[in-house]
Structure 1
Amino acid sequence: MFPQCQLDHILKDDTFSGRLGTFFGTVWDLFMYMLGCSYVSAAGAILLLTIAIVFVPSMVSWKKRLLIGILHVSAHLAAALILMLLMELGVEICIRHKLLATSGYHTLYQWYQSVESEHFPDPTGLRERIEQWTFGLYPACIKYLMSGFDVPEVMAVTRSNICKNGIDSLSRGGAVIYYASVFLYFWVLSTPVVSLILGSYLYISINWLHIHFDEAFSSLRIANYKSFTRFHINTKGDLEVFTLAVDKVPKEWKLDPNWDGESKQPQEPSYLQKFPSKWRAKAPQQDPVNTVRIIDHFVIEQKE
């Protein structure tokens, strides 16, 4: 499926709308090819769809879960195909303008050799002696290290070789290097896009679908609106459940002098103390002791 070697139909279109239509038409063709011919990609898409469906809360009906999962996965797949095709177009344009794939994998090392004598003179011949002492490992290490840092050149040269001679002409090591270099740039491009898609999914879920409240709220990293649950068994043996909440959590705290001044019995639980915490809010109106409230209370009666 990738690399896409035939991109002339996109670049040769005269109008912007025509290029845009051809571009998305190519994305659709890639999507159909992925489902129909690429077994690994199709299996990955099915696995992603399964995870997306399971991720939807079980309170939603199966039909809605299936629909939400399909839409969610479709957004991710469309974004992935668009980014890959954009990256392919970028590499193709650079190759056509002689910015990449001009002289093989070691363009950076060749440039270094051309300026080495001018900027790094060696009047004593130390480099030649090091090359002899290391049996040629010294220049070879520099050569391949520079090739490793020149990822766009490696990607462009390998892509050109694949387009000319086919994917079968590439060795297993060359294929690993090529796909690793592509994955590196794809990771950088896809990270903000995936975050945007997932954030949009959570935004739509809590505002219109009324699901994923926990996931969306935790992603916002809001310190306020905290709640906790306490249980109490009354004299009748019934279980009382209290949910207490604080709307605003103080950001500044100070030591409570009353906590040090209160007499405490050994092993006395804190809830029996008048001042159970050694810390209090700097602003009294924000102290949780004064602002905490019960937002839910119900009783589970004991069964005989």
Structure 2
Amino acid sequence: MLVAVRAAGVNPVDWKVRGGYGQTGAVAFPVAFGREAAGVVVEVGAGVEGFQGGDAVFGNALAGSFAEYALLPAELTAHKPSGLSFTDAATLPVAAATAYDGIRQFGLPPGSTVLINGVGGGVGVAAAQLARHAGLHVVGTASAAKKDFVASLGVTHVEPGPGVADRVAAAAPDGIDAIFDLVGGVALEEVADALKDRSRLVSAADLATVTALGGVWVARTRNRETLDALAQLVLQGALDPYVTTIFPLAEAASALRLVEDGHARGKVVIEVPE
């Protein structure tokens, strides 16, 4: 479907792609950044059912969403409820959906404790809320500057860096039942020993490191049912997208830089004027 973009979420994958992360072949320029968008359907392709011109939608962009128009595959797109803003809807297809899949993957019973490694970003903030909604206790690593913000989510804050394993143990004296990693690398290695059952070590940031540690990559659903479920959670007040910074399309580079620097709290969104 061709969609007139009203808002586009910014994610770490965007600056990683810009730097060649995961790129195995030649790139055809120009390239538009952005993996998630919300907007209004302009035209539907052959065989598309359930959507028509004028529908408000949100979903995963096929070839970039930092633009006035984007292509969205119908199977990865959902109708936007009237009570959900375009700005909030644009945060759901990548960040919130990754969080949703990760927390569901654990299958933990209420009362269990999950450690979210890198809880202060877009995926982490959504994961913390979804875990809490599922009745889980949440411990999260984040910089000292994000301590109050993390605490406001009902998360026990732990500062990363040397000695983090001891701080995690002190924050969760009954142990950690699962780890959702959103950082990777050394930061993941430093907390992995807090978990005895490595089948409940899941990463959305570093496939090589999590595999080496005996864990697994997050299993993504990528379907309309997940998007619909997330929209309902927002409407019910169980999930706040926490859009903390909004940039106009003309300042997309600044939005990308803010996410890349790692200082963003919650979600950064680009809005496109009508």
Q: Is the shorter-chain TM-score for this pair beyond 0.5, marking a shared fold? A: no
More helix by share: 1
* Rg comparison, structure with higher value: 1
Q: TM-score, normalised by structure 2?
A: 0.22
More strand by share: 2
Higher relative contact order (CA 8 A, sep 6+): 2
